Structure 1
Amino acid sequence: MTTRPRSVTGDADRIAKLHSLAILDSQPEPAFDGLLAIARTICRAPTALISLVDSNRQWFKARIDFGPCETDLDRSVCSHALEQGSTLIVPDLSVDPRTAANPLVTGEPGIRFYAGALLRTSDGHAIGTLCVIDTQPRPQGLTDEQTTLLEALAAQVTNLIELRVAAIAREAATAIDLEKAERSNLAAEAGRIGTFDIDLATNQVMPSTQMCRIFGVEFAPAFDSAVFETLLIPDDQGKQSTRSDRARGTSNLVTEYRIRRAHDGALRWIARRGDFVTNAEGKPLRFTGTVLDITDRKQLELRQQVLIDLSDTIREAESIADIVSAASRMLGENMQASRVGYAGIDIPADLFDVQADWCAPGIPSLVGHHSLAAFQGTARFLRTGQPLVVSNIAAARWLSGDSEGYASIGANAKIKVPLMRRAQLIGCFFVHNATARTWSPEEVSFVEAVADRVYAGVARIRAEQEQKLLNQELSHRLKNTLAMVAAIAKQTLRGVSERDAVEAFQARLLALSGAHDVLLQDSWSSARINSVVEAAMSVHSRTERFRIGGADLRLGPKAALSLAMLLHELATNAIKHGALSVPEGRVEIAWAVEGAAADAVLRLSWREIDGPPTLPPQQKGFGSRLIASGLAGAGKTELRYDPTGFIGIFEAPMSLITQF
């Protein structure tokens, strides 16, 4: 039985904090799933969890490739991370005394490797972990970069949890305020809710002072309704009530729309609730109600959706430029900034390179190489690893040396989030505003959340690029080795009198090299079955003598090599004794997947047509044994030597066919 860390299970303050977040047993949410998918990709692990450790259980807010939604603490590795108080990395759980007896280690699913970064709230309570798990030990653990990114993602999970609490509280407060507003105008003013009363005969609006503040107009006892209605943005025209539909009593009683506030042009979201006052005959006389500025709530919803969309985009992106361009556009449009982008920074060379940016109309792009000389104050601050937030660059005395540089690029307010590698500044994600702007804490957190996702995506792309280069180098060396083997064999076997055996050996090397070329197209990760078949047949006869067809499948490297060698032997036999030994002979090669899920098998058939009658071989050499072994050396093989031509049927499990 594993030991429960008492400092975790008995910490009443920590458990009270966890319960106050109102997240235990909540429904799945895409924002958490997106962060979990990024962590799994960065750490190249099959399983990832967002684990919240309660007094007697651990519950998973999000999970990938892990069945139960919670476990008791006897099965918890995350509780040991909380006990340690920092990121926990266990290369082999079966030998660590804290976890060796854990039922998840000794039994199913047999986990071996664990890495968990703490979810620590803003007031210092560790409530759980963002962790990745593997069923294979990892003696090397995680790289420094993977650990840093896992911890950054854990911080974003915690931020999302706390933002979620704030949103719930804000919604509850809004509902309470609306109810009070409907009962009394005084309570409405206290809750920042405006009230109005429209006389339908005169079309005059009698607003409260708070309504005038919300719409940015100077207070007056009465206005023509057009004063407020014309503030709606064009896309939302029609969502407000109009004079004609108020007269008919058909106006929407509850609606939401956007306005450009009168005194400063700021875009604001408004929630309006109304009702009609009628006479005894039911004719509308007045339209009364409340208005509430819901911009903060809408911004939170929109920003959460931006983060979800960005996570999806990053997951599918194939280049750093794609990631930066998408993130810059989404962030710039949401925050109505002047310019957003990413710059790589080379401190020794005193240069920065803006790789991609998004610019508002009329704002010049900064894409290209630039000197850091005009931004030394900024560079010094970013080297601390902390985000830089400046509302008015021209007025910031400590940045006086940079003010001319920022003026030249049309920026007077900025947020910059540094990218560090081994304590060295290598880049930053930036937001510029052409005029002075007070950045809210929510805006800064949003920029940091976007930057964290961009940096995680950039790390994935770089890792994939490095892996691709390594695969290409290994593949190139393997191809050279095959060529060297062929040359050595040719020289060594030059004097051998049995030329058939020598030529068969050389042809097999050629078939193996051809399959290697097909796999090399996808860095030895997989190969399309059509490509393998066509490459194998192209060296034996004209393509019109083969009829090839089947499902578009991808084969793992082992299956691709096995299939190429199998087809080579079948074609060699057909040329010597079968359909390809006569001009009119043809071969049909077809395949299909039969069954579903774990029971799925690949069934491939080789049929020789219009050739001479065939007989089983008198002697069984290497080629015959290879054919008999079938696809990938496993599965079912059926060989028929019919008078009308040879037929071979080969089956193998799809789990083996697609195995890397």
Structure 2
Amino acid sequence: MTSSSKTGRTAAAFCPRPEDNRTDVASPEPIGDPDRLAALASYDVLDTPVEPAYEDIVRLARRLCETPVALISLLDEHRQWFKARIGFEPFETPISHSVCAHGMASDDLLIIPDLTKDLRTADNPLVVGDPFLRFYAGAPLVTPDGHTLGSLCVIDHALRPQGLSEEQKGDLRGLAGQVVALLEARRTVAERDALLAEARETEQRIRDDRRRFADMFCQAPSFMAMLRGPNHVFEFANPAYSALIGGRDVVGRSVAEALPDAAAQGYVEVLDRVYRTGEAHVAQGSLFSVQSIPGGPIVDRYVDFVFQPVRNTDGAVTGLFIDGSDVTERIRQIKRQVILADLGERLRKLHDISEVVRVATESLVGVIDCSRIGFGSVDPDNETVLMHPETCAPGIESIAGTHAFRTFGSFIDDLNRGEMVVIQDVRKDPRTAANADQFAQINIGAMLNLPVIERGRFVLVVFVHHDGPYRWTEDELWLLRQVGDRTQAAIAQIEAEVQQGVLNQELSHRLKNTLTMVQAIASQTLRGVSERDAVDAFNKRIHALSTAHDVLLQRSWSTAPIRAIAAAVLATFDRSDCIDIEGPDVTLGARSALYFSLLVHELGTNAVKYGSLSAMTGRVRFRWWLEGQTGHEDLVMSWTETGGPTVSEPPSARGFGSRLIRMGLLGTGGVETDYEPEGLVVRLRAPLSQVQRS
């Protein structure tokens, strides 16, 4: 999505190579190429209503690439129109506003980390003005004939110098392919409907078309079948349909008779309704549990299909035509991506290693084909595992309890090295063949074991069992490895946090010892000083710094909440119950937190000595708030004293405390002091982004 520059070069005058970041590469590809526009028109997709399949893709693209905006952009001659959009209000823009146009000649991703610095986009209205776009990544939508219709793009309002990860790039390319596949399916269905409409014109055309379609059906990758009469008797089923139902002989038999599993799932009722009403039934991603291999297990497949009525020359429905595609792998892949994204979110909130493994195991239930799945706690010294209560298929017994690894083979050696164990047949794998009878007693014919390593030791294992020999797909193994990687990363993060906590405690202990030593040295050095108030003030300022460090310790020395610092510092004063503190949750960077602790200490000290808190009726209201637009806010603070002695501006204020107050939150000013009759008012202002820097 971005535009032509004001230098006179058109949007199509650039063709960046995906392997570099050049901004001056020219492209001869014109937006108005007649062949390209004809290809776009052939899909008949412009200005069509919202469709869930396309919405799902942009939603997934946004989640996978972690951007607020994702679009499916189709480039017409004078505009770009969005088939699906999320995080972007307009449904179309002029072609002059399009960044996607810059990627027309590329067969790979167009990535612009900073739209404000790229010659093609720096003066684009959507970059220099609302909504202030800053980052763009787009995958071209290339048809099988080589025409680029537009792009699937993700956009951010913040700079992304790092661009996208390799995994995100691959995801974006894959989703772009799904968009093209959906467009191809749209055109295929339209063409098929046109053929069927023509076939209904005359009985002779029906017979001719059946002979012509029979050859096409046999070669088609999608599954197809023709049903006759109200009982839905198979007249024809192509090889793809036969493969879907396990090679069963269905021609000449009704659906209810030939496919009782389909009847049990309600598909015959749908066929009856289509035959009775004459209205086609379209389904996407419909679950179909079927025995794909004769004598094999029942497996779940996902299919896109159409039940289309077939009519005679009088318009009466005489049969039904079935056309569809097995989209199981596409659906599973989308589910896997969603599962991994959700798993990452859940793991980030956990702080217990066993809970991390439990959540990771739960994410695999129903996604990897198995009869038993769970996890166990390992005693690496004794080579035993305590199996926790697991998820089992019907008829499969639990194996919860303690087991010795060596009782079942030698694969623990692989697990100790941190290697995933994949055994497709326990009777044939050399690591388990000698112990096949023990596996048979607990319904294990194949298994996966994923080790979890903590501080170099094998301590937990995720296990997946199948009750017979089984070959898990590469996608399933990939998912298990991805879950394993995320689990190990979460465990490493927990271990790092524990180590950081120990380090923070040690640093805090040493810092307090240092500050105590400073106070002791000061007390000894300043013993002969007659101005004891100054010595006491020095000690109290050291104590204020110590209080701020205590708060910073709780946040790993990076940030500290304003409320926590203010409450801790002001609690040291005798009249602290007369100080009201209020404001939103805002954090300060480490440096600003130290300035702030001293500043609040000086304000409190002055109030007790000379201000409102020197009188029993006096009070202080300390509050803070944010002003300005999001991303450019100022932090504003107000210290207001009331109920104390009459206030007048002192003739001079040259002490350390007064100078510290005038320095403000950043040490550079931004302070207003009003000596109003009812009490002192101090206002401080500083850019939020600066006070939050560590």
TM-score of the pair, normalised by structure 1: 0.68
Q: Read off the aligned partner of 2:245 and give its amino acid letter.
A: F
1:384, 1:515 → 2: CA distance?
A: 46
Match of 2:679 in 1: 645
**Unaligned segments of structure 1, at least 5 residues:** 1-7, 10-25, 36-53, 73-132, 136-152
Match of 1:141 in 2: none
Match of 2:571 in 1: 538
SS of the equivalent of 2:492 reads: helix
Match of 2:581 in 1: 548
Match of 2:478 in 1: 445
Work out which of the residue numbers 114, 121, 138 in structure 2 matches 1:67: 114
Work out which of the residue numbers 615, 619, 636 in structure 1 matches 2:670: 636
**Deviations, residues 24-62 of structure 1 (Å, cap 9, x unaligned):** xx9994586379xxxxxxxxxxxxxxxxxx9x9998777
Matches within 5 A, 1:488-527: 488-490=521-523, 493=526, 496-527=529-560
Match of 1:560 in 2: 593
CA contact (8 A) 1:545 1:585 kept: yes
Match of 2:383 in 1: 351
User: In 2 relative to 1, CA 71–315 (structure 1 residues): closer, same or farther, beyond 3 Å?
Assistant: farther
Work out which of the residue numbers 185, 188, 199 in structure 1 matches 2:217: 188
Q: Does 1:218 align with 2:218?
A: no
2:268, 2:492 → 1: CA distance?
A: 45
Matches within 5 A, 1:111-510: 184-191=213-220, 193-206=222-235, 208=237, 210=239, 211-216=241-246, 218-227=248-257, 231=261, 241-253=270-282, 255-262=284-291, 264-340=297-373, 349-351=381-383, 359-360=391-392, 371-374=404-407, 377-382=410-415, 387-401=420-434, 403=436, 406=439, 410-417=443-450, 429-490=462-523, 493=526, 496-510=529-543
TM-aligned CA deviation for residue 366 of structure 1: 7.4
2:330, 2:106 → 1: CA distance?
A: 33
User: In 2 relative to 1, CA 31–649 (structure 1 residues): closer, same or farther, beyond 3 Å?
Assistant: closer
- Please identify, of 602-611 and 535-544, the stretch whose mean Cα deviation from structure 2 is larger: 535-544
2:114, 2:335 → 1: CA distance?
A: 32
Q: Does 1:621 align with 2:661?
A: no
User: In 2 relative to 1, CA 446–233 (structure 1 residues): closer, same or farther, beyond 3 Å?
Assistant: farther
User: In 2 relative to 1, CA 429–200 (structure 1 residues): closer, same or farther, beyond 3 Å?
Assistant: same
CA contact (8 A) 1:350 1:373 kept: no
User: In 2 relative to 1, CA 184–567 (structure 1 residues): closer, same or farther, beyond 3 Å?
Assistant: same
CA contact (8 A) 2:256 2:268 kept: no
1:60, 1:367 → 2: CA distance?
A: 49
CA contact (8 A) 2:599 2:661 kept: yes
TM-aligned CA deviation for residue 334 of structure 1: 0.8
CA contact (8 A) 1:242 1:251 kept: no
TM-aligned CA deviation for residue 574 of structure 1: 0.9
1:69, 1:458 → 2: CA distance?
A: 39
CA contact (8 A) 2:373 2:392 kept: no
User: In 2 relative to 1, CA 634–60 (structure 1 residues): closer, same or farther, beyond 3 Å?
Assistant: farther
Match of 2:129 in 1: none
CA contact (8 A) 1:591 1:604 kept: yes
Q: Does 1:33 align with 2:65?
A: yes
Q: Read off the aligned partner of 1:67 and give its amino acid letter.
A: D
CA contact (8 A) 1:30 1:308 kept: no
CA contact (8 A) 2:427 2:434 kept: no
SS of the equivalent of 1:479 reads: helix
CA contact (8 A) 2:439 2:445 kept: yes
Q: Read off the aligned partner of 2:691 and give its amino acid letter.
A: I
User: In 2 relative to 1, CA 454–197 (structure 1 residues): closer, same or farther, beyond 3 Å?
Assistant: same
CA contact (8 A) 1:233 1:260 kept: no
User: In 2 relative to 1, CA 428–60 (structure 1 residues): closer, same or farther, beyond 3 Å?
Assistant: farther
Q: Read off the aligned partner of 2:591 and give its amino acid letter.
A: K
CA contact (8 A) 1:559 1:631 kept: yes
SS of the equivalent of 1:411 reads: coil
TM-aligned CA deviation for residue 606 of structure 1: 0.8
User: In 2 relative to 1, CA 366–29 (structure 1 residues): closer, same or farther, beyond 3 Å?
Assistant: farther
2:658, 2:117 → 1: CA distance?
A: 54
2:118, 2:379 → 1: CA distance?
A: 48
**Deviations, residues 573-600 of structure 1 (Å, cap 9, x unaligned):** 1111110011111111121122235642
1:168, 1:385 → 2: CA distance?
A: 39
User: In 2 relative to 1, CA 352–162 (structure 1 residues): closer, same or farther, beyond 3 Å?
Assistant: farther
SS of the equivalent of 1:515 reads: helix
Match of 1:86 in 2: none
1:598, 1:160 → 2: CA distance?
A: 30
User: In 2 relative to 1, CA 484–158 (structure 1 residues): closer, same or farther, beyond 3 Å?
Assistant: same
CA contact (8 A) 1:578 1:608 kept: yes
Match of 1:572 in 2: 605
1:202, 1:455 → 2: CA distance?
A: 56
SS of the equivalent of 2:306 reads: strand
Match of 1:144 in 2: none
Match of 1:596 in 2: 629
Work out which of the residue numbers 609, 617, 631 in structure 2 matches 1:584: 617
User: In 2 relative to 1, CA 255–500 (structure 1 residues): closer, same or farther, beyond 3 Å?
Assistant: closer
Match of 2:134 in 1: none
CA contact (8 A) 1:601 1:651 kept: yes
CA contact (8 A) 2:304 2:327 kept: yes
Q: Read off the aligned partner of 2:383 and give its amino acid letter.
A: L
Match of 1:3 in 2: none
User: In 2 relative to 1, CA 387–172 (structure 1 residues): closer, same or farther, beyond 3 Å?
Assistant: farther
TM-aligned CA deviation for residue 268 of structure 1: 1.4
Q: Read off the aligned partner of 2:337 and give its amino acid letter.
A: Q
Sequence identity of aligned pairs in percent?
28
TM-aligned CA deviation for residue 630 of structure 1: 1.4
TM-aligned CA deviation for residue 205 of structure 1: 4.3
Q: Read off the aligned partner of 1:645 and give its amino acid letter.
A: G
2:598, 2:456 → 1: CA distance?
A: 51
CA contact (8 A) 2:288 2:303 kept: yes
SS of the equivalent of 1:250 reads: coil
1:533, 1:552 → 2: CA distance?
A: 12
TM-aligned CA deviation for residue 158 of structure 1: 9.3
Match of 1:46 in 2: none
SS of the equivalent of 2:365 reads: helix
User: In 2 relative to 1, CA 194–595 (structure 1 residues): closer, same or farther, beyond 3 Å?
Assistant: closer
TM-aligned CA deviation for residue 498 of structure 1: 2.9
SS of the equivalent of 1:334 reads: coil
TM-score of the pair, normalised by structure 2: 0.65
Q: Read off the aligned partner of 2:244 and give its amino acid letter.
A: I
SS of the equivalent of 1:631 reads: coil
